[in-house]
Each structure stands twice: as structure tokens, then as C-alpha cells.
Structure 1
Amino acid sequence: MRLRLNRLSLLLTTALLAACNSTSEIDEKIRHYNIPAKWQNSAEQLTVEQFNVEHGWLNQIPNQQIKQLVDLALNNNFELKQQAFAVEVQQQELIVAGSALWPSLDLSLRAGRDKNSQENSTSRYNNNASLGLDLSYELDLWGKLSAADQQANLTLVAQQTSFEQAKQQLVADVVMAWFSVIEAKQLVKLYQQRTDNTQQNLDIIQLGYQRGLNSALDVYLTRNEVANEQSRTSAQKNALVVAIRELELLIGQYPQGLLEVDAKLPLLDSAIPQGLPSELVSRKPELVASWYQLLAQDAALAYAHKQRFPSLTLTASVGQNSEQLSDLLSASSLGWSLMGSLAMPLFNAGRLEANEEKARLQLKQQEQIYLDSLHNAFADVENRISEEQSLTERYQMMLTAQQNAMAAETLSFENYLAGLVDYTTVLDAQSRSFDAQSTLIEIKNQLIANRIKLHLALGGDFSAATQPSLAE
């Protein structure tokens, strides 16, 4: 008997030491793994202003409508509401996990009637009733319950930061959709102007044909060009309605395609502070959420590890039994009990060990998810910086191309009327002019969208102190 007690004592001591060991397998270096000193596409020497990422970028847009649309989206967007409910669900999960650290108190009331048969073939009926108050409390010897509570806390923080990232993304989507509507309206205006000009050309050419100055081929070519421009205008008008519907969906309204937007595309020519790559880890909500998810999984591993060790539970009961319900409150039948129980898993066919190994593998998986998110965040910033440089260069080139193309269009038609060139030359010049003008509008919107995405990639918050406005 003494040998058995010694073995049991040794087993419990070993379990205690093992459970008290830290199960954390996270290397803190992972959070700043392979972070460069500066962005590859940034200037060689950063100024003091470039170290601080710009917040409040929404205030740079001097338009009241976009601010109203952002407010509507933050209050009405369906996907953002889903994220908000997910946060509230996790808050309840935290309460559930934290409740295990506290005693549980239960009140029970039972009443029954049974029948006993006697030897003389008579039956005896018994009434019984009981009233009890039961208290149960598990001592958190190894920190198992604390690990579960910590996991719930970290998961809640991750969910809250994911919600913040969703807000940032929603605002960016609304602003980009708003500018897409402006772009579509400007293209409709350009297409309609192009159609009107082509129709005027057709009237001039038909008049010349009637006077014998132009050929029938020129008339047919011009009529074909008018039909093409009318088709493009119709398609662009539909594209405008689609763009408005996308914006209406983002702000939680029925997609009627009737929202009125009256603004211009601003030209962005100011530099944006980029900050340092090392600051992105703690500034961007998406990366913060991924890091807390990793910490939560580490706590889950600790919980799975400590599940393999004994549980000590204290229970206390106060109650009484009586044959009559009316006598349950009598002090004469009051009884109580106090006891402790120690339970340790001995054999479960490897279930607990497998759960711990599964949690460890999930932790390793979450590490790779974090590293993937980290490097994707770096790539996103690098791509946006280089894209802005490319778009700025393209805009300047297309601005020159537009001026030349419009001059060539006017000159070619004048030369055609003078009989110096054929009409195919006019069509070619008109096509080049149209392409240059529409491309310039598209590049301006691409510059704006890329700038917004760069703010988002850098972790810049849309709501902060008022910033200088963009030039219209």
C-alpha cells in the first residue's frame, strides 16, 4: 500500500512540474521577421515628415457628399454589421471562458412518489422531496482555466482589430467607388461629345457629297463612325449606372442606380509619407489581428497541454429531504456535505496527446499564416509605391499625347475639307484623340485609387486630424 502511495505521489509531482513548464513555442523574432530598413522604392534619404504615416486622409477630399456616404456605409453596410456581430459573439465567448474561473452555484428541487410491495400483498406508497444548494469550484492548479481565458481574450482582441481593418477597407472601397462614378460620368460626357462631333462631321460630309465634293465612301465611313460612337456612349451610360449601384450597395441602400454624384477627379501631385517598414507591424490592423490570432493559438496549445494533468474540484452541498414539500424549509432536516475530488486522466487511447499535437501543429500553421500576411503587407506597400511612380509618369506622357492628338484631329479634318488627305486619315486622328482623352481620365482615377490603397496598405487611418485638401 505504501509503495502504491509513493508511486502516486511521484506521478502527481511529475505532473505538477510538467504542467508548470511554459508551453509557449512562439519566437518573438517572428513578429519582425525579415523586415527591411526602408522601402525598396522609396527615396534613399527619408525626411523627418516621411517617418510618420499620414492619418485622416479622408479629410483631404474637399467634398461633403463623400463624408456623408462614408457615414452611411459605416452605419448601414451589411458586411461590416456582420463583423460587428462577430465581435459581440466573441465577447460572449470571453464571458463563457472566464466563468470557469469562478465557482458555480446551483439550486435543485426534487419531488417524487414511489410504490413498495409488501409480503402480505399490500403496497406502501412513499413521498419524497429534496431541496439542495450545490457549490462547485475547480482549482486552477496548472493554469489550465487561465489559458482558456487568455485564449478567449486574445481572440477577442484579434476580432476587434479585424473589425477595425474591415472599417478601413470599407471606407477605402466607398471612396474608390465614388471616384469610379465620377470617372464614369466624365467618360459619358466625353463619349457624348465625341458622338456629337462625329454627327457634325457627318452633316458636313453629306452636304459636301450633295455638292459633289465628297465621295459616297466618306459618307458611309462617317455614318459607321457615328453608329460606333452611339454604341460606346450607350455602353458607358450603363457602366455609369453599374458604378452607382456598386456605391449604393456599399452604403447599404437598394441598388437603384439613381444616386447623384457631382464632383471632379482631382490630380494628385503631392508625396505621401511612407513611414518605416518596422512600424507597419504594430500600425496596420490586419497584421495586429494576425499576431493576436497567433498568440491565441499559443494559449490554445497551453490549454491542450494542461488538459493532460489532474483536476482538483471542491464541492459543497446544503440541503434537506422530507416526505412533504411543506417540510423542506424546516431546519430539523437540514444537512450539508463538503468534499474534494482529484481526477487525473490515465488512459484515453491517445486522445489528449493527439489534441495537444493538433494544437501544436495549428500553432505552426498560424505562424506561417502570420508570416504570409506580413510579407503580403510588405509587397502591397512596395507595389503601391512603384505603381504611383509609374502612373505619375504615364499621366505626364498621356497629357502630352492628348494635346498632340487633339491638335492632329482638328488639323486632319481641316486638311480633309481642303482635299489634302482622305477620310481614313481623319478617322485615325479622331481615334487617337479619343483614346488619349479617355486614357487620361482613367489614369487620373487610377492615381486616386492607388493613393487610397497605399494609405490602406500603410495602415493609415481615415479618421484623424484635418489634413490639407487635394487640389481639384
Structure 2
Amino acid sequence: MTRRFRQLLPLLTSFFLLACSNTSEVDKKLTNPSLPDNWQESKQALSVEHNWLSQLDNLQVQQLVTKALAANHQFAMQAYALKIAEQQLIVSGSQLWPELDLSFRSGRSKDNQSDSYANSNSVNLNLSYELDIWGKLSAADQISNYNYLAQKATFEQYKQQLVVNVVTTWFKVIEADKLLSLYRSRVENSQQNLAIIEGRYRSGLTAALDVYLTRNDLNNELTRVSEQATEKTKLIRKLERLIGEYPKGELLVNANLPLLTNDIPIGLPSELISRKPELKASWYKLLSQDAALAYAHKQRFPSIILSGSVGDATTDIGDLLSGSSLAWSLLGSISAPIFNAGRLQANEEKSRIELRQGEQLYLDTLYEAFSDVENAITTEKNLKHSYYTMLAAQENAKIAATLSFEQYQSGLVSYTTVLDAQKRSFEAQTTLIKIKNRLIANRINLHLSLGGDFSAQSLENKVE
């Protein structure tokens, strides 16, 4: 050991201890956050069920999901983003290994004074390796690792969201079709009423006002049918976009809105953290920011690089690597930042602030996820109650509409009473269809909020 190296050893040792002392700065409370023992709106703690898509028991919707996973453009973009993150992982990992380069040069020059020519040929094999004594390169590799894991979890979350979008849009098409059928029946009913009223008017049994009111009611219903047909067409186009088949315009949906009233297992709040992809992605992003802080800190310490080369140079290209003139060199260099106007210190402090910001973002994502589950549970209970009360209201409104028209024909009530009763019946039927679909949509979103998987292995989309 040379005298100069012995003089530098204490300094290098102090640098090493200082650099390695930079451990994780993520708030320890985040690794074990304070969570409730159970959900506020439920006391059951059965494990969350996966494969919820099969519970719908409909072949068409499962086929649409399969098509979306294979042809949706946004989903394909997410798949490519995951592949990019995977390649970046390889790039960052390569920095931990030596770099070996081979170079070859060949040239010919002329000396004007002697009017002679000279050939030059050389080949060199160069080796370069940075010693990762501070863990700087390892920190950079950790950043890529966590970014890859975050992207992978984001990809899974997007996949689940895509399936939810396909299924909920499919049910919206069914809802639009049911409402369109209801509106068309209303048109038929208004046309029948108009024929009766006009007949009574010609017989002198009713006033002209009733005729105009009936015609106005018929025109309103015709307008509603036209608007609903447009809405259904738009929803079909949206569904075709999701499954990658736009603009065929050939998608036919023929199904009923199921009544989903059975309870679903929702598990424990503590299980949500490890199950929901969105939360896992947020956590990995936070760990990536923590690794970025470590990297910024270690940038302030010296870099130690070893380099070596083996080469040969001759005038005759045929004599290269003959062994007679091979040359080699082995060098070591240390470079340390001395003055950079506070740039490295500012970068470290910037990374520390970004980490604190990331902690708040993770907490916000975490508690938003819990809130989504709680809200979905509460909404489902209220929708179930609303459905049964509206079901009774619909039956009462239908009876009232029939009685009011009979009483009108007997001269007991005015025609405005008939219109009001028919409007109440129509609104009750419309609301009942919408509540049933809201129950379905809320149930599907509850599965998404819980992080439950949507299907069996056969529908999984693999990233090739």
C-alpha cells in the first residue's frame, strides 16, 4: 500500500460511512398505517371473491371483455408502457456491470515533403468499470425496479378498469334499449288516447282543449323516442370503441338487466392495501422516490472508475494481433465534486421534498380507496331500498293511471288528471329501470374498489 493511498484511506472511509448511512427516509408510519378493524357499513369479514364477471352468466359480455383486452388501443398503450419499463430495468441494471468496447481504426496519410505514404491500423479492447462503493448505482437500479413494479401494478389496475368500463357500458346499452321500448309503448298509448279523445270530440262529448293536450302529449313522446334512440346509438359506438371494433356499427345487444340484491364478501380494510393494484402502484412510486433521494445524496460523493485496455497498432493490417506489438494499460481514477454552485445539494433537497409530496399522495390514494369502498356499500343499501319502494310506487301508479282514464270517460275527472296520472306511472317505470342499472353499476364498481379480479385465467391478457 503506497504512502499516498494510506493518506487518502481515512478520507475515503469517512465518505463511505457517510454515504451508506443514507437509509430509507419513508415515514415509518406509512408501512403500518392506522386502519379500522372493519368497514363502517358492514360487519362481515369474508374474503373478497374473484371472478365476478362469471356471476353475470352472460356469454356476450364475456366475449366483449375478451375482445377489449385484445384490441383496445388505450390498453395496448399500457402494455407497451410496461414493456418500456421492463427494458429500462435492463438498462439500469447494466450499469452495475463492466463495460467492454472493441474499436478498430484504419487510415492512410501522405507526407508532402518526402512524397511518401504511410498506413496506420489499430485495434483496441477497452474495459471500464465504476466501483459502486457508495451504492449509487444500486440506488439508480432500485429506481428502475420500483418504477417497473409500479407500472406493472398500474397495468393491472387499467386492465380491471377497462373491464369495468366495458361491462358498465354494455349495461347502459341495455338500459337505453329498455327505456326506448318503454318510450315507444308510451307513444302507442298516446296514439290510442288521441284516437279516443278525437272520437269523443267529434261526438261532442269532450272539449277541444283535451284534443290539443293529447296531441301535445303525443308529440312529446315522439321527441323522447328520437332522443333515446340517439342516446342508444352513441352508447353502442362507445362500446365498439372500447372493444376495438369502431366504426362497424353492427353490435347488437339483447339482454335483460339482472336484479343484483345478494350481498358480496368485502373482506377487511387491512387486506385492501395488498390486494388493490392502484394502492400497490402508489406504494412502489413512493419507494422509487425514496431511492431517487438516496441516489441524489450519493451523487455528492466521489466516483471511482477502473479502466483497462489491450490493443495493437501496425502499418500492415495483416500484422494486427500478431502478439509482437500488443500493448495494455490499467488505470484507476477518482473524481469528486468540489464546486457546482449548490446544484447537487439542491437536487438532494428537491428529491427529499418530492418524497414528502409522494407520501401525501400515497395517503390520499389510500384513504380515497377506503372511501370508495365505504361509499359503494352505502350506495348499494340505499339503492336496494329505493328499488323496492319504487317497485311499489310503479304498481300504484299503473293502477291510478287506469282508474283516472276510466273516470275521465265517465265524466268524473278532467283530462289533466289523466295526464298527471299517466306521467306518474311513466316516471315510476323509467326510474325503476334506471335504479336497477345503477345497482348493477355500483356493484361492479364495488368489485373494482375492493381490488377483486374480474375473471378466470382464460380471460387474462398476457404481455408478450
| TM-score normalised by the chain length of structure 1 | 0.93
Give 1:359-378 correspondences, 5 Å limit. Answer: 359-378=351-370
Q: Deviations over 1:300-322 (max 9, x none)?
A: 11111111112222212111111
Offset at 1:258?
3.2
Residue 213 (structure 2) aligns with: 221
Offset at 1:257?
3.9
* Aligned residues of 1:412 and 1:421 also touching (Cα < 8 A): yes
CA distance in structure 2 between the partners assigned to 1:53 and 1:465 by the alignment: 17
| Match for residue 395 of structure 2 among 373, 392, 403 | 403
Residue 209 (structure 1) aligns with: 201
1:72 pairs with 2:67 = yes
Runs (5+) with no aligned partner, structure 1: 467-472
CA distance in structure 2 between the partners assigned to 1:9 and 1:465 by the alignment: 58
1:452 pairs with 2:452 = no
Q: CA RMSD in A?
A: 1.9
1:90 pairs with 2:85 = yes
CA distance in structure 1 between the partners assigned to 2:286 and 2:187 by the alignment: 58
CA distance in structure 2 between the partners assigned to 1:34 and 1:242 by the alignment: 45
Paired residue secondary structure (2:294): helix
Residue 274 (structure 2) aligns with: 282
Residue 387 (structure 1) aligns with: 379
Residue 240 (structure 2) aligns with: 248
Instruction: Report the identity percentage.
Output: 58
CA distance in structure 1 between the partners assigned to 2:232 and 2:276 by the alignment: 33
| Match for residue 312 of structure 1 among 289, 294, 304 | 304
Paired residue secondary structure (1:51): coil
CA distance in structure 2 between the partners assigned to 1:116 and 1:145 by the alignment: 49
* Aligned residues of 1:205 and 1:214 also touching (Cα < 8 A): yes
Residue 352 (structure 1) aligns with: 344
CA distance in structure 2 between the partners assigned to 1:439 and 1:161 by the alignment: 38
* Aligned residues of 1:182 and 1:262 also touching (Cα < 8 A): yes
Offset at 1:354?
1.6
Residue 36 (structure 1) aligns with: 36
1:195 pairs with 2:187 = yes
Amino acid at match of 1:108: S
Paired residue secondary structure (1:126): strand
Give 1:16-31 correspondences, 5 Å limit. Answer: 16-31=16-31
1:129 pairs with 2:124 = no
Q: Deviations over 1:336-356 (max 9, x none)?
A: 112222222222222222221
Residue 470 (structure 1) aligns with: none
Amino acid at match of 2:107: G
CA distance in structure 2 between the partners assigned to 1:202 and 1:186 by the alignment: 24
* Aligned residues of 1:53 and 1:273 also touching (Cα < 8 A): yes
Bigger mean CA offset, 27-36 vs 136-145: 27-36
CA distance in structure 2 between the partners assigned to 1:225 and 1:441 by the alignment: 22
Offset at 1:116?
5.2
The runs of at least 4 aligned residues of structure 1 exceeding 3 Å deviation read 2-10, 113-117, 121-126, 255-258
| Match for residue 300 of structure 1 among 278, 292, 306 | 292
CA distance in structure 1 between the partners assigned to 2:221 and 2:32 by the alignment: 55
CA distance in structure 2 between the partners assigned to 1:5 and 1:243 by the alignment: 75
Residue 429 (structure 2) aligns with: 437
Bigger mean CA offset, 268-277 vs 324-333: 324-333
* Aligned residues of 1:55 and 1:465 also touching (Cα < 8 A): no
- The count of residues paired between Structure 1 and Structure 2 equals 457
Paired residue secondary structure (1:333): coil
| Match for residue 99 of structure 2 among 99, 104, 114 | 104
Amino acid at match of 1:265: L
CA distance in structure 2 between the partners assigned to 1:122 and 1:56 by the alignment: 87
1:138 pairs with 2:135 = no
Residue 272 (structure 1) aligns with: 264
Question: Taking structure 1 as reference, are residues 465 and 86 closer, same or farther at Cα in structure 2, changes over 3 Å only?
Answer: closer
CA distance in structure 1 between the partners assigned to 2:444 and 2:3 by the alignment: 73
* Aligned residues of 1:32 and 1:281 also touching (Cα < 8 A): no
CA distance in structure 2 between the partners assigned to 1:455 and 1:438 by the alignment: 26
CA distance in structure 2 between the partners assigned to 1:264 and 1:32 by the alignment: 45
Q: Deviations over 1:142-179 (max 9, x none)?
A: 11111111111111111001100001101111110111
| TM-score normalised by the chain length of structure 2 | 0.95
Residue 462 (structure 2) aligns with: none
Question: Taking structure 1 as reference, are residues 452 and 3 closer, same or farther at Cα in structure 2, changes over 3 Å only?
Answer: same
Residue 461 (structure 2) aligns with: none
| Match for residue 222 of structure 2 among 224, 230, 245 | 230
Question: Taking structure 1 as reference, are residues 77 and 465 closer, same or farther at Cα in structure 2, changes over 3 Å only?
Answer: closer
Residue 329 (structure 2) aligns with: 337
Offset at 1:5?
7.2
Runs (5+) with no aligned partner, structure 2: 459-464
